[in-house]
Chain A
Amino acid sequence: MRRILAILAGLLVIVALWEGYKAVGNPDGTVLFGVRVLPRADDLSMPHVWTVLQRLGRPELTGGRPVWIVVLQACLFTLGITAAGFLAGAAVGLLLAVAMQRFRLVERGLLPYVILSQTVPLVALAPLVAGWGGTIMPPWATVAVIASYLAFFPVAVGMLRGLQSPAASGVELMRSYAAGWWRTLVKLRLPASLPYLFPALRLAGAAAVVGAVVGEISTGTRGGIGRLIIEYSREATSDPAKVYTAMLGAALLGLVVAGAVSLFELPLMRHRRHVEVVTL
């Protein structure tokens, strides 16, 4: 209950900031030494919150379906891609982390490239991956590949830290029980890595959403929220509220993914923190 209230309060603060800036900000933006440091506050650049909400209810095109249905459908399409990319990325990240933990050599050899992989601009990579669409995989899967390319990184790095987190005494204890690498992994390293895994998964979820949205745009995939943002932004001069409805959709997508991660986290992490100490 308290959490829901906190979320609602957060939403209200954002709305208040938006409308507050609109009320006091210069409609032409604040320009300092020829640079616009604050955005335009006019209705064309920053439509009122209620205008955006009203726009959700009105048809996309004259006589068409209402915008909220279109946005929601696009969200669902992108959610599917995001989920596929997220799962694939998380699996790859996990496997890489386990391999790096197992073999020092792999860690030394691979970790620099894992980090390097994220400095390759996505837009440079996207056309290459897009070329796979329709031949070795359906077009939507190429977008999922791009999403997973962003998502695997935080998981690989966070999970590696988590797998390496057990104290030497824990590892020695497992050795004293004659437990091999696999059983040490299952009984000690994996459970110990959970506090590192979940923040990493949350980052991966956000990265997968960004990857899916950007991937849709750069591969020209139709049907998703990324595509919708591009389409609606073309109408921004005549219908400024429209593009914001698509952005709301993208934000909603991020929340859904973060919520899904929390859904796994809550039962698994219930006893890991915030407990009262008994002294005897």
Chain B
Amino acid sequence: MTAVVLDKVTKVFNRGRADEVTALAEVDLTVGDGEFVSLIGPSGCGKSTLLRLIADLIEPTTGTVRVAGKEAGRARRDQDYGIAFQQAGLFEWRTVRRNVELPLELRGMGKGERKARAEEMLALVGLAEFAGHYPAQLSGGMQQRVAIARALAVQPPLLLMDEPFGALDEMTRERLQGELLGICAQTGTSTVFVTHSISEAVFLSNRVVVMSARPGRITAAIPVDLPARDEAARQSERYFEHVTAVRQALRGVPATT
């Protein structure tokens, strides 16, 4: 089964008005089970729109979106995915643990089970001892980790992330990238990851999907094949080859690899 299938998806905003914008035109994309796919491209290329279409936060103008073999709306109602945005978006009136519990609570999970699951997820992101803190007491990086724990709490087969590390400093960003890869490997989650950063996309992904703007389209899909994804990999020649390939694709130069 494939995690995500987009078939000739077009999204037009403000249709029929003077400010009509074609955000996405005829996009086809398939994300396999357990695959980590990054979407990269200039601002306004529709990568966030694409993610929101998969999440059924907006509806396609034409074309079909299928998630986990179901129509996207059905998949959303079944909570077949977890989502994390650029802003952690934690609820400041809930403790860290109760933030992670939120999606479970809405699913009607019992109190004890919910608490156990939330604590397990917090341990996964290394914040077990901060369960009783309030979001405002945590640094930006820690809040983002809570948001990731929250996205993972329902143990979704698919993780959707919209520049989740965008607001973080480089150090925190690299550490969280490592943690995310570990979690995905551990849980076998498929991931669609929106980013501005070429190096981040290459380091994390099995495949980097390059997009261009006006109208938003997929211009290249570059498979990334790294033997390992650790600190050494960031210095390896293969890594830089892929970075160059993605950069060229972004500039519109035909890929050489």
Contacts and interface: CB of A to CB of B under 8 A. Distances in A.
Interface string A251-280: 000000000000000000001110111111
A272 B92 contact: yes
A176 B55 contact: yes
Interface of B: 52, 55, 57, 76-79, 81, 83, 85-87, 89, 91-94, 102-103, 105-107, 130, 133-134, 136-139, 141-142
A275 B137 contact: yes
Contacts of B142: 278-280
Interface in A147-202: 167, 169-170, 172-173, 175-179, 183, 187-188, 191-192, 194
B106 A187 contact: yes
B93 A176 contact: no
B162 to A, nearest CB: 9
Contact of A277 (B78, B103, B137): B137
A275 B135 CA distance: 10
B227 to A, nearest CB: 31
A233 B18 CA distance: 66
B139 A279 contact: yes
B57 A172 contact: yes
Contacts of B79: 176-178
A275 B134 contact: yes
A278 B92 contact: no
B93 A271 contact: yes
A277 B89 contact: no
Given A172-B57, A176-B76, A187-B102, A278 B137 contact: yes
Contact of B57 (A167, A175, A272): A175
Contacts of A194: 93
A169 B85 CA distance: 7
